[in-house]
Amino acid sequence: MIDSLGIIGTGHLSAFVCEGLRASGWTHELLVSPYNQEKAEAFCQRFDARTADSNQDIIDRTKAVLIAVRPAQMKQALSGLIWPKNQIVISAAAGVKISALSDIAGRTQIVRVMPISAAAYMASPTTMFPNNPEVSELLSHIGAVIPMANEVEFDIATANAAAYGWYFALMNEITQANIRAGLSAETAKRISVETLAAATKVSFASTQNSELILESLATPGGITAQGLKILQDSNALKPWGAAFDAVVHRLTDA
């Protein structure tokens, strides 16, 4: 069990993870990098954490370290540190391969993960490679953990973290359409979000794929079929797949 976690990188992603951990009842030690003193102090106050003397101090005093810096900052943040072989390095840097991390962190246990902001609400589908039972147990506090079979699959699955953001663009478009039609902003948001949540619940509960579910809903002459035809005729759906393909290409070619 991971009963002490170091944090290098006190940005949004690590904050989402720590918020979910604390909300879930995880009460163990959090030790934070002192790199940005002001942000570190705010982070500690918010999540009942402590500031380390240095990044090396974090490594020396914790069982696992969450690396949540931008990929371009990885080498600067980790270089020159002494890593014990039993240390678990949990990297949330999109596109940074295990081989590149090994060049910096040596022969530690390196696990790549990709949580999303829903971690703050204990609802993040967090992908992971390789499968590590201790990391899996830790991340289960912030949502479902989805192990990947290999690193290529992990990079492909990481594109879903981008798609997660696009769903908000879709919700906003539908919400604004409800407002234009005459609903209040509050009602428009509620019906849009609740409807998407309902679609998600049906998708989880059904043994059918989304295509078959849609086929059962878009009955000829119905309002679902009417709107779907407009979307298909204007090629409004294909660009979603194209956007996903572009992100996958970026991640797998990194």
Rounded Cα gap, residues 109 and 89, in angstroms? 6
DSSP per residue over 107-160, as a string?
SSEEEEEE--GGGGGT---EEEES--HHHHHHHGGGS-EEE-SSHHHHHHHHHH
Domain residue spans in the chain? 4-147, 155-252
pLDDT at 204: 93
Non-local (6+) Cβ contacts of 63 within 8 A are: 2, 3, 4, 5, 87, 88
Q: Return left, alpha or beta for 80; rule: phi > 0 is left, psi -120 to 50 is alpha, else beta.
A: left
pTM for the predicted model, two decimal places? 0.90
Q: Is the peptide bond before 130 cis (omega within 30 degrees of 0)?
A: yes
For the domain covering 155-252, report its CATH number: 1.10.3730.10
d(CA 182, CA 99): 55
pLDDT per position as a tens digit, 158-172: 999 999 999 999 999
**At 158, which amino acid appears?**
T
Checking if the pLDDT of 12 tops 90, the result is yes
pLDDT over 70 at 174, yes or no? yes
Is the pLDDT at 96 greater than 70? The verdict is: yes
Fold matches, 4-147 and 155-252: no
Report the SS3 class of residue 71. Answer: helix
Name which CATH class applies to 4-147. Answer: alpha beta
Q: Which pLDDT score is estimated for 106?
A: 77
Element (H, E) at 87: none
- Report whether pLDDT(254) > 70: no
Q: Which pLDDT score is estimated for 194?
A: 97
